[in-house]
Chain A
């Protein structure tokens, strides 16, 4: 017994030394969360309302939402999804279809539901942003489960390839969608606008608030921040729920999980569906924020961009993923194009650093997997798996219990 106490004490001492948010006492944890939220809320006041920083920060928050969604599929359930961009596409097309002039050819006066301003007059379908988000979540959940279905019998790398293929098929449909005539809707209506893009897209129009504009970016930031908080809350609750534990059991050992009574089909489909839904929320937001839904946005490299975020932060670790997403989107949108872009020419080399951004992310994936596979802020469980030290601790605990 004495050894057991010793081990526990040592573990506690260690967690005191390397204070991690999830090991702090509850009061301190709440304080930290409150400080982060308040900090996040007041941050835009220190910057120019139409400026680059808030723009980058808003994009970063939208990516956080998507990365948290991907984290459910890859990090929690251990299903490597290389086609996550499909859900970005579906979310974005939802707002492209139901929040723009795109269907103006088939409805003369337009369909308007709970919209104000210019959108209330324009032809085409114009639904309120919140309704669109609900539809996007619905579409993406269905699509996520549909894509998940064929992978149920497969394991490991085959899942990666099948999801990749689906992502590419959806991307292809987006690009060539301007050739797909929706004849039953009449006129020359097509499925997508291909590479030209659907633009403009309705600005977000929330009840009780004035419609957002492209000059004042702060409301966009706060909306994205609210989405992140919502998604974080859902993520944290899910992780600690029965379903979340089932996902982790599935990731650790599928056979053992199944024999312990985890329903494989349902659990996997829930992972795909939930993860996809977050992609849809973020996609709808980005469609409105970027004011275009363009087929060139939905490429394989974007899936890898998101994957790099969660690998950098730590697979399965919610706070790590948030950090990784913010870090990578700032690297991609600010550091590479604005700060470091002149480095090659200063060295006498003839290329733009922006051309290399995906090579840099590829390099990051490689380095992280070889040197620090658990990520910057590791999930506790995975850290125990990957570090030798923890094996010793496990043995120590085991021996302690036996004695």
Chain B
């Protein structure tokens, strides 16, 4: 009886550790905004600079969210970090930039033509990136499905380098400015000192419907159900008559399509593209996916917005050259102390 009794009072240290485990990540994420918020209040007397960071951060975050969903879907289903996913995003940008010229979109195109043209480019970029991602899976990951887990990760790194070189050959080795179709930095409206630009609007207008559509597909459709079943237990799914290979391909297709859409938004929003953008973007988006809890789509979106905000604060106040280091520092912190992320459950990997 003595042994079975649960200790009535927990030591304060254990309580503290428990609380840190639960809320530590949120606290760590609040450090930057709160510190700079106080700083702003002292110097400017209001929070408009921080609010501007937030708006810009959210539209950046929309891009990272779309890319992060690709990571999280693939990880959820085959427990692989698709290292080449950032490059799929880059190819999406490149395809969009090339399609602008092919379709004949320019700075002088009228609004109706622009909207129509951009929707066409969006669809095409999504198809290109989606197909590419499926092909990557077919060539680099499927032959290694039974191998030790590190094998596909190494081929993923190899694939990522190959695609970077494809980008390098395609559009050259230095960052390239492209036509600013939507005048992305042009202020659309201003609320209480907070500027919302065309680019911000575009990011939100493209991202939200896509995410909703994709969520609906996964939760409602038959194929989505197959995806969830395969993610839960591939062997049982196969026994139930689900074609696991097709389902995995479908997952890569969806992830790639979202990355293609993100690539278009990035090209329109930043108006600069280069072959190396995928590497940093991939790692930032992966950080977002881990932050939200890998395998969790809502978590990836949330993580994307948070990382976008942090990145914007860092770009704006600390200096863009430090942003990767800050994002990676968050990545290490999260993976070390809370590998399950904000919304995720304990994965086998993290346990």
Chain A interfacial positions (CB closer than 8 Å to B): 78, 80, 82, 150-151, 153-158, 160-162, 164-166, 168-169, 172-173, 175-176, 179, 300-301, 304, 307, 311, 351, 355-356, 358-359, 361-366, 369-370, 373
Contact = CB atoms under 8 A, between A and B. Distances in A.
Interface stretch (B95-103, B125-133, B159-167): B159-167
B230 to A, nearest CB: 19
Nearest to B160: A362
B336 interface: yes
Interface string B307-351: 000000000000101101100110110011001000000000110
A169 B325 CA distance: 5
A337 B73 CA distance: 41
B147 to A, nearest CB: 7
Interface stretch (B34-42, B52-60, B148-156): B148-156
B254 to A, nearest CB: 21
A311 B150 CA distance: 12
A176 B320 CA distance: 11
B286 interface: yes
Most central of B157, B159, B290 by chain A CB within 10 Å: B157
Given A168-B328, A362-B158, A364-B158, 6 more contacts: A158-B349, A161-B290, A301-B161, A356-B168, A358-B161, A362-B162
**A interface: dominant SS:** helix
**B interface: dominant SS:** helix
Contact of A365 (B154, B165, B168, B335): B154
Contact of A162 (B80, B279, B332): B332
Interface residues of B, number: 45
A352 to B, nearest CB: 10
B336 A369 contact: no
B350 A365 contact: no
B335 A154 contact: yes
Nearest to B331: A165
A175 B332 contact: no
A195 B161 CA distance: 23
Nearest to B280: A168
Interface of B: 79-81, 139-140, 143-144, 147, 149-155, 157-162, 164-166, 168-169, 173, 279, 283, 286, 290, 319, 321-322, 324-325, 328-329, 331-332, 335-336, 339, 349-350
B80 A307 contact: no
A154 B286 CA distance: 16
B80 A172 contact: no
B157 A362 contact: yes
Contacts of B161: 301, 304, 358-359, 361-363, 365
Contact of B331 (A162, A175, A362): A162
B140 A157 contact: no
Contacts of B140: 366, 370
B349 A154 contact: yes
B159 A351 contact: no
A261 B154 CA distance: 30
B349 A355 contact: no
A344 to B, nearest CB: 10
B328 A370 contact: no
B325 A82 contact: no
Contact of A373 (B147, B149, B169): B147
A342 B151 CA distance: 34
Nearest to A361: B161
Contacts of A179: 319
A160 B81 contact: yes
Contact of A157 (B139, B155, B159, B349): B349
Contacts of B151: 369, 373
